[in-house]
Structure 1
Amino acid sequence: MTIKLSVNLNAIAVLRNRRNLPWPNVVGMGRIALDASADGLTVHPRPDQRHIRFTDLPDIRRLIDDEFPNREFNIEGYPDQAFLDMAELYADQITLVPDSPQQSTSDHGWDFGRDSAFLKPVISRLKERSIRVIVFVNPVADGLEAAKDIGADGIEIYTGPYGDAYDSDEKQAKALEAVTIVAQRAKELKLLVNAGHDLTVSNLPPLVKRVPWLYETSIGHGLIADALEHGMRETVLRFKRALAI
């Protein structure tokens, strides 16, 4: 199975928003990524629009529909009413995250013991619109049965601890083992397994070797950082090769 690469465009939007200018062009960079073989694009619009703007969503949807109709648009966010009303218009896949508006980035998964009653009608609503629903989870296997019970199609494992352990082989091995246990349990439950946060060309191959049934990786910061050095096209190819190990 080929593991999908979805390129998160948030960091591109951060650079654009530093000036009242239309560059770097979010759609243009998305086009380069897709043309270089990325399987989809990801955005995480936040209420303050500090990176992706709400007006970016129809433009990205149009890019995919008109030029890359076999690719996917993944929209991440906290499922309040405003987010759902907006995201369900454009997304092929919605990744539900428990972020507060003030967070700089996603850094924890759902507490299913507390949040299942809230998430279940949200997931039902999105599934009625034929949108794939992924829930963001900590690298801990507890609670995955609840994710299955409330109707999620899959999980995205928060790989931040794995990425953060880049300077310690021991910590990285321990973090990878935690991710593997979660992925194995999700596989047993027949949930799709996505992964995201601080993934790089260096740490993807060990992850893929341990979890070859990964469905998708959503990668932003590390990929865009590499793109500053190698360009977007070559960077996408580098990440695709890392996923093919």
Structure 2
Amino acid sequence: MSAKLSVNVNAIAFLRNRRHVPWPSVEGLGRIALQAGAYGLTVHPRPDERHIRRSDVGILRDMIRKEFPGREYNIEGNPDPDFIKLVSAAKPDQVTLVPDDIGQATSDHGWDIAAHRGFLTDVTSRFKSQGIRVSVFIDPEPELAHLAREVGVDRVEIYTGPYGGALEPLAMEREFRKVVATGKAAEKAGIGLNAGHDLTRENLPRLVAALPNLREVSIGHAITADALVFGMAETVRLFRQACGDLRSEAA
């Protein structure tokens, strides 16, 4: 059992943007991550460009396409008109629809699919017509997997923040069960499964073992934090090990 690792480079960009200098290099560290075996890169551009800039989107796309054919590029964000235009121009392998508010510090909830069914159906159809796989960000609630199927998305990404951020064992167990139930509901609905937010080397293996249908995890904060200790290449190796990806390669 394994899941593929997509490295979210937002935190690297956020650190870069604290100064008017080009380092740390988002492209350079993204390249190191891919050289170390990461399956892909994820970016989440926001309107204020406080981390990923619009210019980063094309630079990373070109690097992946030229140097790492077969690896994946995932762009996530709130599908407002500017975001739709950006994604349509970049043509990533996957777009993940996230219901962010403009001033939101980080993603902290999934879609109310029933309330936005028409909008999500239209956006999904538009991106899929361009050959882009569509994933939708959902809370760990099993019924949402079936609603996501109805709007036509290819995958759901479960918001794992409550599980990953739980420090008390009973709370962690409760949230773990919610994520697993939602992941199994996605399999039953016939759609692919991704997950992301506050996932770490410590809490990943159990999740991967419980959900054999988990295809991809998108991780940024924990990878960036661990890279300060281990370096990016070794951190990617450790996270791939936590995902079961290195063992599957050896087999």
TM range (shorter): over 0.9
> What's the offset of the Cα at 1:155?
0.2
Match of 2:116 in 1: 115
Equivalences for 1:15-164 in 2 at 5 Å? Answer: 15-90=15-90, 91-164=92-165
1:139-158 alpha-carbon deviations (Å, 9 max, x no partner):
11123222111110010000
1:184-229 alpha-carbon deviations (Å, 9 max, x no partner):
0000011110000000000001111111220100000011100011
Q: Normalised by the size of structure 1, how large is the TM-score?
A: 0.98
> What's the offset of the Cα at 1:174?
1.0
CA contact (8 A) 2:2 2:208 kept: no
Aligned counterparts of 2:113 and 2:14: Cα–Cα separation in 1: 32
Runs of 4+ in 1 over 3 A off after TM superposition: none
Aligned counterparts of 1:62 and 1:72: Cα–Cα separation in 2: 12
Secondary structure of 1:195's partner? strand
> What's the offset of the Cα at 1:60?
0.2
Match of 1:168 in 2: 168
Equivalences for 1:3-14 in 2 at 5 Å? Answer: 3-14=3-14
Counterpart of 1:160, as a letter, is: G
1:155-189 alpha-carbon deviations (Å, 9 max, x no partner):
00000000111x22211111110000000000001
- Count residues in correspondence: 244
Aligned counterparts of 2:172 and 2:165: Cα–Cα separation in 1: 8
Secondary structure of 2:57's partner? helix
Aligned counterparts of 1:177 and 1:150: Cα–Cα separation in 2: 25
1:95-134 alpha-carbon deviations (Å, 9 max, x no partner):
0001111101110000011011111110000000000000
Aligned counterparts of 1:142 and 1:199: Cα–Cα separation in 2: 23
Q: Structure 2: 5+ residue runs without aligned partners? A: none
Q: Structure 1: 5+ residue runs without aligned partners? A: none
